[in-house]
Amino acid sequence: MKPKFQHVALIGKYQTLGASSAATSSRHAISTVAHFLNDLGCDVVIEQDTARNMALGSYPTLSVAQIGAQCDLAVVVGGDGTMLGIGRQMAAHGVPLIGVNQGRLGFITDIPYDGFASILAPMLHGEYVEDHRSLMNARVMRDGHCVFQAMAMNDVVVNRGATAGMVELRVEVDGHFVSNQRADGLIIATPTGSTAYSLSAGGPLLHPSIPGWVMAPIAPHTLSNRPIVLANTAEIAIEIVAGRDASASFDMQSLASLLHGDRIEVSRSAHHVRFLHPKGWSYFDTLREKLHWNEGVTAP
């Protein structure tokens, strides 16, 4: 029986890995998954940067934009960082993503590489759970002009400088003044990003189905300044009031040296990322495994 997804793209790490043992392992994993997909009857293409960086010339190559326009499915082999990057780019095209984990945590690349074939085969024939993840649009405004803009799947973070003291930030939600906050920084996180930096800063976990953002201060000067959950329809503005060398990051995309008066504006994107998980997948299974819940406790 032919697979449900016929034209499948394979995507790995983007950076040049050289001749390290990690590069050899990644190259072998991509090649193994490609052969598996081909044997299953899929028309396999390799993302062009993946093919070039890993010297994989046995399959046709496409750019990310071409994959978005032509492919039914993208399989990402790597870690969550790799998935974040490709997820932002695929969202506008609506191409679903499956993650095969070769990283450490694997919150969104949840199929372990060891034994991937027994899990991936039924998914390619239509046995899967679909999971939609929200995205944020963010832009940096300076003197009324946009100087940087990006999408984020995890979070938007405003940080103090490396050697400076705290920053002072004026926060507005839907045009309403919230507070002036003195802290090491401020995180605006999606439900996907609630298991990342926001969690380290004391923010709550948000189930992916909740239409909300987490706003979490980083080491606030006022201890009553606590994380808050906002509707993801809210438009959030963060203005740099005081502090030197502040910077902003949008997932792994950064803008350094923000100026006093710069405004970081965050709103909901019209696009979302489509993840496919194995049949029977549960978000709580992922949390239990990745956060090591129940260790030392007898499972029911």
Catalytic residue, from 49, 72, 80, 155: name it.
80
- Which is nearest to 273 in space by CA: 154, 189, 156, 188? 154
Mean pLDDT of 152-175: 93
Is residue 80 annotated as part of the catalytic site, yes or no? yes
Q: What is the pLDDT of residue 178?
A: 97
Residue 181: how many other CB atoms lie within 10 Å:
23
* 285 in any annotated domain: no
pLDDT tier, 7 (very low <50, low <70, confident <90, very high otherwise): very high
Same-domain pairing of 80 and 194: no
Range of the domain at 26: 7-126
Query: What whole-number distance in Å separates Cα of residue 122 and Cα of residue 6?
Result: 14
Same-domain pairing of 38 and 70: yes
Q: Which CATH number does the domain housing residue 95 bear? A: 3.40.50.10330
Same-domain pairing of 259 and 235: yes
Mean pLDDT of 256-271: 95
* 2 in any annotated domain: no
pTM: 0.92
Q: Which CATH number does the domain housing residue 145 bear? A: 2.60.200.30
Same-domain pairing of 52 and 122: yes
* 277 in any annotated domain: no
Query: What whole-number distance in Å separates Cα of residue 170 and Cα of residue 181?
Result: 6
Same-domain pairing of 82 and 168: no
Task: List phi, psi (to 5°) of 263.
Answer: -120, 130
Query: What whole-number distance in Å separates Cα of residue 149 and Cα of residue 141?
Result: 9
Task: List phi, psi (to 5°) of 151.
Answer: -105, 150
Strand partners, 158: 186, 248
Query: Would you say residue 14 has pLDDT above 60?
Result: no
* 278 in any annotated domain: no
Total residues belonging to the chain: 300
* 298 in any annotated domain: no
Same-domain pairing of 251 and 178: yes
Same-domain pairing of 110 and 160: no
Same-domain pairing of 105 and 190: no
Same-domain pairing of 226 and 105: no
Same-domain pairing of 104 and 193: no
Query: What whole-number distance in Å separates Cα of residue 47 and Cα of residue 61?
Result: 6
* Boundary (domain end) residue, out of 71, 98, 126: 126
* 166 in any annotated domain: yes
Query: Would you say residue 19 has pLDDT above 60?
Result: no
Helix ranges (H only) for the chain are 21-40, 48-53, 64-70, 80-90, 116-124, 197-200, 283-290
How many distinct structural domains can be found in the chain?
Answer: 2
pLDDT tier, 16 (very low <50, low <70, confident <90, very high otherwise): very low
For 180-248, the DSSP string reads: EEEESEEEEE-TGGGGTHHHHTTPPP--TTS-EEEEEEES-SSTT---EEEETT--EEEEEEE-SS-EE
Specify whether the CB–CB gap between 3 and 40 falls below 8 A.
yes
Strand partners, 148: 140
* 293 in any annotated domain: no
Task: List phi, psi (to 5°) of 122.
Answer: -65, -30
* Boundary (domain end) residue, out of 126, 155, 189: 126
Summarize pLDDT for 208-236 with one digit per residue, the tens: 999 999 999 999 999 899 999 999 999 99
* 289 in any annotated domain: no
Residues 6+ apart with CB under 8 A from 211: 134, 231, 232, 233
Mean pLDDT of 246-250: 94
pLDDT, the chain, mean: 91
Same-domain pairing of 155 and 240: yes
Distance from first CA to last CA of the chain, Å, rounded? 38
Same-domain pairing of 192 and 142: yes
* Boundary (domain end) residue, out of 60, 95, 126: 126
pLDDT tier, 65 (very low <50, low <70, confident <90, very high otherwise): very high
